[in-house]
Every structure is written in C-alpha cells, then in structure tokens.
A and B are shown apart, each in its own frame.
Chain A
Amino acid sequence: MIKRSLWILALTVVLSACSSGVKLNEVPVEDKVASANEATATVAPSSMVAPVVSGNAGVQGVPPAGVNVVYFDYDSFTLKPEARAVLERNAAHLQANKTFKVQLEGHTDDRGGREYNLALGQKRAETVRRALTLLGVSDAQLEAVSFGKEKPAANGADEAAFAQNRRVEIKY
C-alpha cells in the first residue's frame, strides 16, 4: 500500500514537473569563470596568489523512484545481472521523458592512482551508456563522466567499502 502510494506520489511529481513547462534538465550553465574573474582581478606582486572560491553548478532532473546505481566487481567493467532492472527502469524513464538528460558517473574504489582511476571509472560509465543506448535511449540524453576514486560512497579499506564504491550512479 505504502509502496503504491509512493509510486503515485513519485509519478505525480514527475508528471507535474513535465507539465509545468519548466524544463528541469535545461538548467543554464553558469559562467563561474567570468564571475571569478571580476571578483579577483586585481594587480598583485608576482609572488602573490589570488584566492578563488569555486561555485557549484548543482544541475538536477527528476530520477525514477528506486536505486539508480549499478555496481561492479573488482577490476571489472561488465554489467552484473542485478544491473538489468536498474537499467531497464531508467531506460523506460528516459524514453518517456525525451527532454531529460542524465550524467552517468563512474566511480572506483580508492586503490591506485587518481588519473588512472578516473579512466577506469570512465570505462564503467561508458559500459552503462552503451547498455542504455541498446535499450533504446537516445545518446543525446546521456553523458558518461567519471569521478574516479574522488567520491567514495563508503569510507573504509575493506572489501565491503570497496564494493560500494565501484559503481556508476545515474544522475538526473
């Protein structure tokens, strides 16, 4: 019962968002660079370093209800059977909402170099991108990116934490 009412609630949110005329996926990209320039462009001696505080773009959309994360085995880029339901649900959601765009964020556990892990996370994100494309999602709705080991879901140096961190998050 509760589950069902949540579904209805989620659907209502999604539908009202769609009918409101506000395109949630098209949050304008803020030009943080220009504002940073204006705030800090001063004449300074050469040994000085002018401080800059970065902004946060905070782009969001409306995800389907449920977990939108796909997990991977160590050193692996192949989808596990558990990923199927997640991908199918998101594929249907994206096909029903063609204006939605998602970022597929690849992540790794924290062993090894930062740049190489970024490339490994990218490989996982690309795997999910291809899977969603095969399920009929337009490539224009998808962007595969990577955070490498920079944003672990779980802290800890054991396999339980590592397994939580080897993932692709489907972000709306």
Chain B
Amino acid sequence: MNKILFLSHLSQLFRRFGVLTAIAVFSSTALAQFRVDVSGVGMTQVPIAVAGFKGEETFPQKISNIVLADLERSGQFRAVSMAGMAMDELSRPDMPQLRQKSADALVAGSVTRLADGRYEMRAKLWDVVSGQDKGDYRETISQADLRLSAHRIADWVYQILTGDKGVFATRIAYITKTSGKYSLWIADSDGENSQAALTSAEPIISPSWSPKGNQLAYVSFESRKPVIYVHELATGKRKIMANFKGSNSAPAWSPDGRSLLATLTRDGGSQLYQVDVASGEAKRLTQSAGIDTEPSFTQDGSKIYFVSDRGGSPQIYRMAATAGSAERVTFNGSYNISPALSPDGRWLSYITRVGGQFKVQVMNLSTGQSSAITETSADERPSFAPNSKLIVYATVLQGREALMTTTLDGKIKAKLSGQSGDIREPAWGPYR
C-alpha cells in the first residue's frame, strides 16, 4: 500500500519536473523551426544527450534537434542538455560530466558536404554508464534526404537502446483544409517536410497506405460524390478504384496489397465489399439491414474489424475475412467507431462517445479491457505506427483541428506541427 502511494507521488513529481525540463530544453534551442510539445512523462525513460552535429549549423533544421525530438516523442527517452559541450563522433566524451548530468546515453555526429554535392552523415552512440562505445552510423545521402537520414539515426539509436524497431523514418499521410481548399499531404513521422500529393476544391477523406507504402487509397469528392482512388505517390498516377452508383468510401488495403476493403452503397445501404485492385470488381462481404462501414484487415488477413449499427447503435465487430457471422467487440457506450488494429495484433484503438465527447480508446485484445488515453473531446481516426508503440490521431486543440501522437498508455503526447490551418485524417505509413 505504502509503496504504491509512494510511487504515485513520485510519478506526480516526475510529471511536473519532466514538463519543466522539456520546456527548458526546447526554449534553449529556440532556433528550431519545429516543436514537440511533450505532455506528461513516463517512469522508465532513458536520459539521453544528443550533441549538436558538427556541420549542421548551415541547415535550417538541426540534425541533432530532429534526432532528439524523435526520441522524446517515442516516450522512451528524456532529453539531457548538452549545453556547452561541443563534440562530434570522433571526440572523446567527457563521461564524468555526462554522468553528473545523469545522462545514460550519448549521441554525437557530423554532417559533411562531399565534392559531388551529396552529404556524409556520421554518428556514434555511447553508453555513458559503462563508458562503452555502442556503435557507429554512416551513410551518404542527397541534400533532400537530410531529414530522412536524421530520422534513420533516431531509429538506429532507438533500436540499439530499446531492442524495438523505430518508426521515425516512416511517413504519415494527412489532409488539410485551408480556405476551402483540401490537400492530401505526405509528411515525415514528425509531421514535417510535407509534400502535397493532391489538391482539390472538394473534400478528401480516409487515406489508407498500401502495404508497400508506395500508394495511397482515399476518398475524393471531386466529382461531387465519394469515389475511391488509388494514387501512386512517386508519379502522381491515379486510378479510380471504386465509382459505383451511390457512395464509395472507407478504403482499407489487404495485407497482400491485391484488394481493398470498402464501403459501397450500390445495392442500397452502406455495406462492406472487397474490391480487386487489378480488375476493379467488387464482391459483397456483409448482408445487414443497417450500416456496415470502416472495415480493416488484421495484419495476417484472417479477420476484418468494422463498425455496424446492426445492434441499434454503432459498435465495433469482427468477422472472418471469408465473411460469415460477426462477433461484437465493443460493449461499453452507445457510439464506438473508427477501429484501428495494431500491427502486432495486440491492441485495438477506436473512438468512443462519452457524454457528448469523442475520445481515443485503446483496448487490450487479449483481456478486452479498454481505457481512454486523451484529455481532448473531439478525437478522430486513430492510426497505429508500424511498431505498434505509438498512435497518431486527429483532435481539436484551441479551436483548430490538429494531429497528435501518443504512446499507448497516453502518457507521452506530441502535437505534430508541420502545417498551419486545420489538419485531419492521419494515416501512419508502413516501414520503408
């Protein structure tokens, strides 16, 4: 009893202290053009120091800031200030001083412009506690891939120190709405470095990444009705995937990339179909009198999760991918929608309505236990990172639509601040 009480006090202390630390760190790097608003702090974070990379001064975004912000956003690292300690990967770190700052790990590196215009990125990781060198990172890249390389370094550090694969070099798709214009953006996992894939005067919703990450399916209203497109990102090539009579929406790829689940109304009422990507043929999967929508495959392709109001209120159900009877998954509340499955198959995230508020929930699929993980009240569309450790979701902050990432326990949240205006409909892309 006493121990639990003590721990909860300690976590409160840590939380306050942690927030202050985060503010201090980021105000000291005021030149950074992007920001991670870390709210809350977990108990098992690795204190890490990331030295300014030698040669990074000439870039608008500092490599070291990108690496550090990535690691912090994961919820598993806490920044230790490197103020007054200039070094690179060849330096001999002042271990006693770093230990005094309570750093457990140190990253230092350099970026060098080569004669052919490309850049050489180097980094080294040290275990400060043991004083050991934990490995070297080196790659040659074009200037356009500097941010990508910084994210890869963060992934490399993350993997060595946590044993899990990092997701910082992955991409996120989202939609913005600014003065009546809708844009589909592809951005780095921190929301930055966004590139517009599609701009339209009509709404775009429900982007879904192909398993290989080279294509997106989405719903565009450009022909004055919802139509599903498949869009190849590198070339901008688009094809209409489903344009049947009525509405065509909620696309979700099969794990093999050969078909899409979709909600079509061609036979009257919103029902689930499987659309073959090569032929465009649609096979009906559900036969209910009500609404069936928002389908998604499990990672192994064996089951489909979806939303249905067949029981009188919208709830999440699952059924075999070969169709057949469905089993209800959510039981609490009268409005549970937008199911997202973690790639490891252990978690289900969804949106529940409680007292007029819409909140992200995370359910442990082995126990069926669910918990709310946000303090906001207009959450939408959770999407898992490919390592199943983070969720990106849409919400409203100070009257503006915004994207947040959160750890599954809700303890570490970061606002993605890559775009101005209203940002919505996030979809976290696969590893690349």
- A residues neighboring B (CB under 8 Å): 29, 32-33, 36-37, 39-59, 103, 105, 111-116, 118-120, 122-123, 126, 143-148, 150-151, 171
Q: With A44-B235, A47-B148, A57-B224 in contact, do A122 and B206 touch (Cβ < 8 Å)?
A: no
Q: Is B139 an interface residue (CB 8 A)?
A: no
The answer to whether A51 and B198 have CB atoms under 8 Å apart is yes
Beta-carbon nearest neighbor of B204 in chain A: A54
Q: With A113-B337, A115-B249, A122-B265 in contact, do A50 and B235 touch (Cβ < 8 Å)?
A: yes
Beta-carbon nearest neighbor of B232 in chain A: A50
* Inter-chain contacts of B148 with A (CB < 8 A): 47
**Min distance, Cβ A28 to any Cβ of chain B, angstroms:** 12
The answer to whether A151 and B203 have CB atoms under 8 Å apart is yes
The answer to whether A103 and B224 have CB atoms under 8 Å apart is yes
The answer to whether A116 and B338 have CB atoms under 8 Å apart is yes
Bound-state Cα–Cα, A150 to B197, Å? 20
Bound-state Cα–Cα, A166 to B239, Å? 32
* Inter-chain contacts of B142 with A (CB < 8 A): 45
Beta-carbon nearest neighbor of A41 in chain B: B235
Bound-state Cα–Cα, A53 to B229, Å? 14
Contact indicator per residue, chain B 196-220, by CB within 8 Å of chain A (1) or not (0)? 1111111101100000001000001
**Min distance, Cβ B421 to any Cβ of chain A, angstroms:** 15
Q: Is B250 an interface residue (CB 8 A)?
A: yes
* Inter-chain contacts of A51 with B (CB < 8 A): 195-199, 236
* Inter-chain contacts of B351 with A (CB < 8 A): 113
User: Could you write out 18 A-B pairs with CB less than 8 Å apart?
Assistant: A33-B240, A40-B236, A41-B237, A47-B148, A49-B186, A52-B236, A54-B201, A105-B225, A113-B351, A114-B380, A116-B314, A118-B205, A126-B268, A143-B225, A145-B246, A146-B247, A150-B205, A150-B221
Q: With A33-B238, A48-B195, A114-B380 in contact, do A54 and B222 touch (Cβ < 8 Å)?
A: yes
**Min distance, Cβ A151 to any Cβ of chain B, angstroms:** 7
Across the interface, A113 reaches (CB within 8 A) one of B195, B224, B381, namely: B381
The answer to whether B338 and A115 have CB atoms under 8 Å apart is yes
**Min distance, Cβ A100 to any Cβ of chain B, angstroms:** 16
Q: Is B110 an interface residue (CB 8 A)?
A: no
Beta-carbon nearest neighbor of B223 in chain A: A57
* Inter-chain contacts of B263 with A (CB < 8 A): 115, 118-119
**Min distance, Cβ B327 to any Cβ of chain A, angstroms:** 20
Q: Is B278 an interface residue (CB 8 A)?
A: no
Contact indicator per residue, chain B 335-361, by CB within 8 Å of chain A (1) or not (0)? 101100000000000010100101000
Bound-state Cα–Cα, A70 to B239, Å? 34
The answer to whether A116 and B234 have CB atoms under 8 Å apart is no
Contacts between the two chains (Cβ within 8 Å), count: 172
Beta-carbon nearest neighbor of B240 in chain A: A33
* Inter-chain contacts of B222 with A (CB < 8 A): 32, 54-57
Q: With A41-B236, A49-B197, A151-B203 in contact, do A143 and B246 touch (Cβ < 8 Å)?
A: yes
Bound-state Cα–Cα, A130 to B314, Å? 23
Beta-carbon nearest neighbor of A116 in chain B: B337
Bound-state Cα–Cα, A119 to B246, Å? 11
Contact indicator per residue, chain B 239-273, by CB within 8 Å of chain A (1) or not (0)? 11000011101100000000000010100111000
The answer to whether A114 and B237 have CB atoms under 8 Å apart is no
The answer to whether A37 and B337 have CB atoms under 8 Å apart is no
Apart from the given pairs A46-B214, A143-B225, A144-B265, 11 other A-B contacts in the complex at a CB distance below 8 Å: A33-B238, A40-B237, A49-B195, A54-B202, A112-B337, A112-B353, A118-B247, A118-B249, A146-B247, A146-B265, A151-B203
**Min distance, Cβ A116 to any Cβ of chain B, angstroms:** 5
Q: With A112-B335, A143-B246 in contact, do A48 and B220 touch (Cβ < 8 Å)?
A: no
Bound-state Cα–Cα, A109 to B247, Å? 18
Q: Is B293 an interface residue (CB 8 A)?
A: yes
Q: With A54-B199, A119-B293 in contact, do A145 and B233 touch (Cβ < 8 Å)?
A: no
Beta-carbon nearest neighbor of A40 in chain B: B236
* Inter-chain contacts of B229 with A (CB < 8 A): 33
Across the interface, A119 reaches (CB within 8 A) one of B195, B203, B239, B270, namely: B270
* Inter-chain contacts of B206 with A (CB < 8 A): 114-115
Bound-state Cα–Cα, A117 to B225, Å? 14
The answer to whether B239 and A33 have CB atoms under 8 Å apart is yes
The answer to whether A36 and B226 have CB atoms under 8 Å apart is no
The answer to whether B226 and A53 have CB atoms under 8 Å apart is no
